[in-house]
Chains A and B, each alone.
Chain A
């Protein structure tokens, strides 16, 4: 054995397999540290924030002073930093590797965007400041709005929606307002079976009756079935294009014309705009309203669930009905905020406000920085590389995984596989969990619903060929194992912070907040 002169070995002795991983006393595994809840490690007497002593004075709280214990533990700053740093390490993220969650467009989040969003002139301004003091912020909204309009070839844009689903709501409210303005109370919204769950949920949320449109065997909207269903009760058709199978709806223009001829409107779910940005303008396809997820196409971070931002581009027919507030550039170059007060002369048909303030300013600054960084040429390249990467994944794996629409031509920005051909008892879930052990975030599973055991892979344009090759290697190996019936796969993941979690138990006996152990025991 090689030793230093103090007697410390400097090269490991070969170990026997059985001795590789004994349990530790703490449950920690080196860099993987178990972390208790703040309620278990903090105390209500500890704080990590110091305040100036409050001036003494009378109490104006009426008789409402809060006397009861609230039960909020505190930690010192050091403990706080450590708690959240440790927790963060139990997360997968784009910063760690490929995150091919189909329909979610998990692309790299440039750090310039973060820097820009934190400039005090954007981060530290109040939504109700006098307009003369926020001209730069209104300028950002306006500049981004112009980009979105030009990139989509549409007439106007509503900037306030707070995420994709909120954008869908905005679009459908515009449609409803436009129909009501012509005294036409249509009640039905048609939604393809392959649509994202938010589409039917949104239509129902604003009072519409939802009906399915079937798909053709090649994964697209069934044009003839759609035409047959159009009639005086149909208010809108919601179409995702490119659709959730990763395919372009070839008949989009024909569909739009048919929908318009029947007196209805075309809502396009723009979640997949990344595939066509700079190459195709939805306005050229007859779309009346489409939301754009800034948290997908335009790189604002998902933050473990949000926030998002879902501006909605609108056709000439719908733009007058958009929500308040909105910005307008005046002839002198100043930018005005149009609110309830001045809406009368500016936009009398607006359907009103759909959230308290002006939308997701923190996302606007990030998205604008991203758009300016790419420019018109870079954005076109984004779509091309996103589509190229997806097709590369599709064609590198369609010999081992069933690609239900692979025969009908290229895909757009996502590659769709099914569980057909896996050994008896093996599922999409097993492949997904196996990917975790291989160091990747799984693809979207079991969506869209039109494909059995769907695996929807969206690599995005910000992955290198080397990263894709490694992912392909991993997925190929897993597909082969699942076809060969490798039972070990059913136990995956083995190397993640947790093994498979019991979701049935969680739903049957919901524990949605922490309670002190004796209280919890007493409640049993």
Chain B
């Protein structure tokens, strides 16, 4: 077995040192009836590297990858070009094969990256501080609701209908067990969001209002009025960003008054990967830092007076506080945070603005072209790189038939909101810098034929 270095003579010598006659002697504490005598039946034995690679490649070939097709899917996961150096650098063994930086003297590489990452994320989201990552946007969103409950000591969260339905589902799953009250309705195919309704619903029991920006239908609007209304009753505004590239073009939620901003960082550096691993972003105002979940990296000095970095404020965390911790998270998305940080460093502000500008311009172009098709209308007034088209028929079948023609043409609202057939004609289309004018043309023609 190529990964196992012990030889049989090593094993014999080691057993002699231990004073055991055989390996079985080391398993004496396992009750005899639970010990398996041979290998588990119906499972193959070991295989060569070549054989395994062949098997996996055969499975990979059964998928239509985004790069092989005109590709317009978004709804919480976006295809962006990731520069080659990002993947090269994250594969350096010193990053890839290190553990959480528990021994800071020999983990300054990871720790400095986390400090830089936290600063980049805080600035991008318009907040004072960010943590070292959560699992993904959806779990970060639930943690934000829990944190708002802790801060306000109130148990009712108002979820905007523009929040990603899977994020809503995650929160609903948890709330069933924790007793939190969540108010939520599915969205309507309307260029206006439900902000006015949310503002009217805020009361003295409200812990937070959770709003996505840009929202699941691609709508964007100023959050200031929502923030003011929430703050007027002592509630918090939680903003959720599933497409961080947008913040190279539009105002940061923190700058509009959001108290906690969470998000999905997958767009920058991470790649699609069929949904994971992704990168939960979590940022907030300075005054709430001791209520944050997850790991935080902070600056300090070493015994010789040199600047260095450590994990800090760990009295919030499970390994110190156990059942009183702010969260149960331990392992997070470290390597994805590294990828995000490298990609963001390559972009810099200049590159991020160029990237965001290109996304928006391509999206505007595509929206114009697609909305000109017979029977198709564009729902949005404003948007960044994603918008909702209203088709003359249910979008689910259209999407499936487009896929059969090799076009990955957006996410149907039927897939996202199976219990809301009244919006089933909606199709959410994302257009990033990876889309070419030719892709738009192929998509438009295919859609026109499918609708004819």
Contacts and interface: CB of A to CB of B under 8 A. Distances in A.
A430 B56 CA distance: 46
A130 B404 CA distance: 9
Interface in B328-386: 328-338, 342, 344-352, 354-355, 357-358, 360-365, 367-368, 380-384
B303 A500 contact: yes
Interface stretch (B196-204, B313-321, B442-450): B313-321
Interface stretch (A4-12, A69-77, A416-424): A69-77
Given A66-B247, A165-B329, A465-B10, A129 B381 contact: no
A197 B331 contact: no
B289 A307 contact: no
B84 to A, nearest CB: 9
Contacts, number: 735
Given A47-B347, A410-B29, A512-B289, A372 B52 contact: yes
A74 B350 CA distance: 7
Contacts of B314: 507
A465 B13 contact: yes
Q: How large is the interface on B (under 10, 10 to 19, 20 to 34, 35 or more residues)?
A: 35 or more
A121 B164 contact: no
Interface in B262-285: 264, 271-278
A169 B328 contact: yes
A205 B329 CA distance: 10
Contacts of A514: 115-116, 119
B166 interface: yes
A290 to B, nearest CB: 14
Contact of A60 (B52, B53, B382): B382
B115 A72 contact: no
Nearest to A249: B29
A341 B320 CA distance: 41
Contacts of A69: 349
By size class, the interface of chain A is 35 or more
A377 interface: yes
A304 B101 contact: yes
B107 A163 contact: no
Interface in A9-66: 35, 37-39, 42-49, 51-52, 54-66
B302 interface: yes
Contacts of B61: 121, 136
Contacts of A137: 59, 63, 274
Nearest to A464: B5
A128 B115 contact: no
Interface in A294-351: 295, 299, 301-309, 323-324, 339-341, 351
Contacts of A44: 348-350
A135 interface: yes
A55 B360 CA distance: 10
B271 A166 contact: no
Interface string B25-66: 111111101111001101111110101110111111111111
B232 interface: no
A348 to B, nearest CB: 14
Contacts of B13: 465
Contacts of A71: 123, 349
A91 B345 contact: no
Nearest to B297: A512
Nearest to A108: B3
Contact of A373 (B3, B101, B297, B315): B3
A353 interface: yes
Contacts of B300: 501-503, 505-506, 511
Contact of A301 (B76, B77, B330, B335): B335
B205 to A, nearest CB: 19
Contacts of B59: 121-122, 136-137, 139-140, 143
Nearest to B304: A499
Nearest to A54: B361
B235 interface: no
Contacts of A134: 63-64, 274
B206 interface: no
Nearest to B67: A124
Interface stretch (A224-232, A259-267, A354-362): A354-362
A72 B350 CA distance: 8
Nearest to A446: B319
Contacts of A308: 331
Given A47-B354, A306-B333, A369-B56, A62 B170 contact: no
A276 to B, nearest CB: 7
Interface in A453-493: 461-465, 467, 491, 493
Contacts of B399: 130
Nearest to B356: A66
Interface string B87-124: 11111111111111111111111101111101110111
A71 B66 CA distance: 32
Nearest to A126: B73
Contacts of A93: 93-98
Contact of B115 (A37, A106, A122, A356): A37
Contact of A84 (B60, B62, B92): B92
A47 B320 contact: no
B287 interface: no
Contacts of A54: 354, 357-358, 360-362
B358 to A, nearest CB: 4
A60 B360 contact: yes
Given A70-B124, A165-B318, A387 B27 contact: yes
B354 A51 contact: yes
Contacts of A285: 34
A378 B272 CA distance: 32
Given A37-B112, A96-B94, A361 B275 contact: yes
A505 B313 CA distance: 11
Interface in A412-470: 412, 432-433, 436, 441-442, 447, 461-465, 467
A139 B62 CA distance: 9
Among B56, B66, B278, B334, find the residue whose CB has the most chain A CB atoms closer than 10 A: B56
B6 A49 contact: no
Contact of A62 (B4, B19, B381): B381
A207 B40 contact: no
Given A108-B3, A378-B4, A355 B97 contact: no
Given A109-B96, A135-B63, A87 B109 contact: yes
Nearest to A73: B348
A505 B306 CA distance: 13
Nearest to A77: B85
Given A54-B357, A55-B365, A162-B135, A126 B60 contact: no
A517 interface: no
B364 A77 contact: no
Interface in B283-303: 289, 295-303
B145 to A, nearest CB: 12
B301 A501 contact: yes
Interface in A346-396: 351-363, 365, 368-369, 372-378, 380-382, 384-385, 387-389, 391-392, 394-396
6 contacts: A49-B354, A95-B96, A120-B67, A129-B408, A355-B139, A410-B20
List of 7 A-B pairs having minimum Cβ-Cβ separation, nearest first: A74-B348, A357-B275, A303-B335, A305-B334, A121-B60, A95-B93, A136-B62
